[in-house]
Amino acid sequence: MLDGFRDLSFRPVRNDAPLRLTQSQIDGYNRMGFAQPFSIFTEPEIARIRAYVDRLMADMGEEGGYGINCYQARLSGLWDIATDPRILDHVQDIIGPNILCWATAILSKAPHDPKAVPWHQDAAFWCLAPARTVTVWLAVDEANEANSAMRFIPGTHAGGALKLRPTSGDSVFHIETDGADGLGEPFTNTLKAGQISLHADMLVHGSLPNRSSRRRCGLTLRYCPPEVRITDGSWAQGVEAILCRGDAGGWRTCPRPDNDDISKTSSPHVVGNN
């Protein structure tokens, strides 16, 4: 535990023998803060994942679209997705061979959803240091500009924590990155269903309201190496990490759950939306 210590700097990835990413993609991640797209699941596989996600959201009712947060240690289906070796091979190329998944979230923008996710930096809201989490965004549905795919502002991961201001309008968050419109041209994270993107935890990102008649559903998976530590003891009580690969270091981790019924458990912690 490192109470009060916050290192939100970006450390460039150095990897001379990547498993999946090319050196060009690693260089792009270092320069822009993200890499994409990577095809992971086949059409039949993502169809099964979509049916699973639909069941979880239906069981959650009204809160299903934005409320399924951090169940990776409480639902075996999410555990199995988070530990899929095809995803982990990509993550390993960024953070190394020791991989923890400490958070997940199902994020579903319904057709004509008026809520925006304002520009923000994830790690600025987390009690973790150093800032070494990589987020995998798995497209459960096809995501493009029309149905409000996530947007990145390239290069903003390397500038530390940026100033915040209150949001206005219909927004998922009550605060946002100040002056984001002047930080560069946004990149739309277009993905086919079954593909993933990887982005750094200090990259400024967000999404617009979904003006289309198509849903946009994704699953985020947050991975970090064990050198990352929780900096606040009270925040630690809500983190249920799972060891996906290698050594957990000093982290307390949870075994694969037997349960896969969301109605029989609850979320330990809520950490944000994209």
Q: Check: CB of residue 103 under 8 Å from CB of residue 70.
A: yes
User: Per residue in 92-140, pLDDT tens?
Assistant: 999 999 999 999 999 999 999 999 999 999 999 999 999 999 999 999 9
| pLDDT on residue 172 | 82
Measured distance CA(79)–CA(57) in Å, rounded: 17
Average pLDDT, rounded, for the chain: 94
Enumerate the domain spans of the chain: 23-255
Measured distance CA(119)–CA(157) in Å, rounded: 13
| pLDDT on residue 171 | 83
Q: What percent of the chain has pLDDT over 90?
A: 87
Q: Check: CB of residue 103 under 8 Å from CB of residue 222.
A: yes
Banded model confidence at residue 274, pLDDT cuts 50, 70, 90:
low
Fold of 23-255: Jelly Rolls (2.60.120)
Helix or strand run (H / E) with residue 85: helix 85-95
Q: Within 10 A of 212 (CB to CB), how many other CB atoms are there?
A: 16
User: Per residue in 182-210, pLDDT tens?
Assistant: 999 999 999 999 999 999 999 999 999 99
Inter-axis angle of helices 85-95 and 23-32, nearest 10: 60
Banded model confidence at residue 3, pLDDT cuts 50, 70, 90:
very low
Q: Name the residue with tokens 């320069």.
A: 31
Q: Check: CB of residue 140 under 8 Å from CB of residue 217.
A: yes
Is the previous residue joined to 268 through a cis bond, with omega within 30 degrees of 0? no
